[in-house]
Amino acid sequence: MKIFDLIKLPFNKNNPVTVQVLGICSCLAVTAQLKPAVVMALSVTVVVALANLIISLLRNTIPPRIRIIVQLVVVSTLVILVNQILMAFVYDVSKQLSVYVGLIITNCIVMGRLEAFAMSHKPMESLLDGIGNGLGYGVILVILGFVRELFGSGTLWGYPVMEKLGLYKIGYENNGFIIMAPMALILVGIIIWIQRSRNKDLCE
Amino acid sequence: MKQFSNKYMILFSLSLAAIVALLLSAVSMFLKERQTRNQQAETKQMILKTIGIEATLDNADKLFDRNILTQEKGVYDANGNSHAEIDFYQYDCGFIIPLKGNGLWGPIWGYLAVDSTMTIVGAVFDHEGETPGLGAEIATDKFAEQFIGKKMDVRPIVLKKKADPSSPYEVDAISGGTMTSNGVNAMLEDAFNEYENLNRRVELSCSKEERKEVSR
């Protein structure tokens, strides 16, 4: 496999959310606004990439019988670090993400990549695979966050877009429904639909 | 597959645990100060919110110092040494009463701003780990706004099902959050017992008009 594919494939043919259908829970939970979606995407990318790198470096020294526990310890450590840093530097965002940062540990994408890729590949490839998968997950999160914040609250990154455009004056109203978690699932469904109609390989 | 001895596995786990523990404690020590500062700013932000001042984490310190006076009381610890503890806060036209209690999963807390007749003018609640959608609803504005206009004078305010909105001592409980609601009730009762006659104990001199001017 070419090195470049490791980054590219998760964006399309091997997207963790729309193709592997992993990490859906956090997709619904943190995408009501753009800012937490971006922070979550970056946090997951950092965690997957570093966890992949560390596990790949250790892969020949990890006894197979305790490998899952070792993976879990590495992931938890990284997540605690991310959480501590968020609490120190972007407190309001860490407050909003609250339990979901802790839930990165249980995000199937992280453990899935460690077990399926990092345990059997070289460090450099694993790092790239981690970055690719983190960003592939992140891009879906950002799309959802963008659509949901724009149509649900009429703002983007807190900036009142719809108000500045003067749409409220001509009778436009925010769609409160789109803020609810099920709408995120429907949006993911629409993204999967578009992706599969453009890429016939993905259809069974 | 390579074979690993039991001794190797145990040593591997122990050294992994030791490295991780060292790393985490180092980071925690290093970031502690910043995190504490953020938490303090957030508390000030909450307190300011009860009297209608919206502050950000950055300007909370400044606005707090300008609008709010902290009243302390002497408390004796187990060894007989006295130290100061926050009693209540005072703003130009009333008091802000701190609430502390326990919810279902962890601590819950809040602040009630009352005017000189012990009528609530603003409230905020927060929690550490109540269930989202159920107990965690106490942190919403919708829940806190119910307290506006209620009274802290004759008996404690209670959360109950089908509360009478015209009664100054009743507020709707959280549906599906009974344990958290009970925690809030206990917290309100404690606060009532401690601060019942606050307006008679502490002098206030202000008028409604003055208050508006200061908070703007």
Mean pLDDT of A170-186: 85
Neighbours of A82 (CB within 10 A): 22
Judged by a CB distance cut-off of 8 A, whether residue A68 touches chain B is no
- Give pLDDT, residue B215: 46
Q: Which residues of A touch B13 (CB under 8 A)?
A: 66, 69-70
Q: Which of A102, A41, A39 is nearest to A75 (CA)?
A: A102
Return phi, psi of residue A14, to 5°: -130, 40
CB A63 to CB B4 under 8 A?
yes
Judged by a CB distance cut-off of 8 A, whether residue A66 touches chain B is yes
The structural domains of chain A, with segments of one domain joined by +, span 3-199
Cα→Cα distances A190→A17, A185, A195, Å: 13, 9, 9
Residue A15 in 3-state DSSP?
coil
Question: Edge to edge, what strands does the sheet with B120-127 contain?
Answer: B68-76, B82-91, B94-102, B107-115, B120-127
CB A64 to CB B31 under 8 A?
no
Q: How far apart, in whole angstroms, are the C-alpha atoms of residue B135 and residue B107?
A: 12
How much of chain B, in percent, has pLDDT values that exceed 70? 92
Q: How far apart, in whole angstroms, are the C-alpha atoms of residue A72 and residue B13?
A: 12
Mind telling me how many Å the CA of A180 is from chain B's nearest CA? Answer: 12
Residue A193 in 3-state DSSP?
helix
- Give pLDDT, residue B208: 52
Q: What is the ipTM of this complex?
A: 0.74
Q: Which of A9, A10, A15, A8 is nearest to A192 (CA)?
A: A15
- pLDDT tens digit string along B99-112? 999 998 889 999 99
Q: Is the pLDDT of residue B17 over 70?
A: yes
Structure tokens at A131: 């970055």
Residue type for position B98? P
Mean pLDDT of B151-157: 87
Query: Which range among A126-140, B72-86, B170-184 shows the weakest confidence by mean pLDDT?
Result: B72-86
CB B35 to CB A88 under 8 A?
yes
Q: How far apart, in whole angstroms, are the C-alpha atoms of residue B166 and residue A97?
A: 37
Q: How far apart, in whole angstroms, are the C-alpha atoms of residue A5 and residue A128?
A: 9
- State the DSSP code for A200: G
Mind telling me how many Å the CA of A195 is from chain B's nearest CA? Answer: 33
Question: pTM (2 decimals)?
Answer: 0.72
Q: Which of B79, B131, B84, B76 is nearest to B105 (CA)?
A: B131
Q: What is the mean pLDDT of chain B?
A: 85
Mean pLDDT of A110-124: 91
CB B9 to CB A99 under 8 A?
no
Mind telling me how many Å the CA of A88 is from chain B's nearest CA? Answer: 5
Confidence bin at B153 (pLDDT 50/70/90): confident
Please check whether residue A45 is in contact with residue A138, taking contact to mean a CB–CB distance below 8 angstroms: yes
Please check whether residue B112 is in contact with residue B192, taking contact to mean a CB–CB distance below 8 angstroms: no
A73, A80, A88: residue with CB nearest B34 = A88
Higher pLDDT, A3 or B157: B157
- pLDDT tens digit string along A31-54? 888 888 888 898 899 999 999 999
Please check whether residue B170 is in contact with residue B163, taking contact to mean a CB–CB distance below 8 angstroms: yes
Mind telling me how many Å the CA of B108 is from chain A's nearest CA? Answer: 15
Residue A70 in 3-state DSSP?
helix
- Give pLDDT, residue B211: 47
- Give pLDDT, residue A98: 67
Query: Which range among A24-33, A38-47, A184-193 shows the weakest confidence by mean pLDDT?
Result: A24-33
- Give pLDDT, residue B216: 40
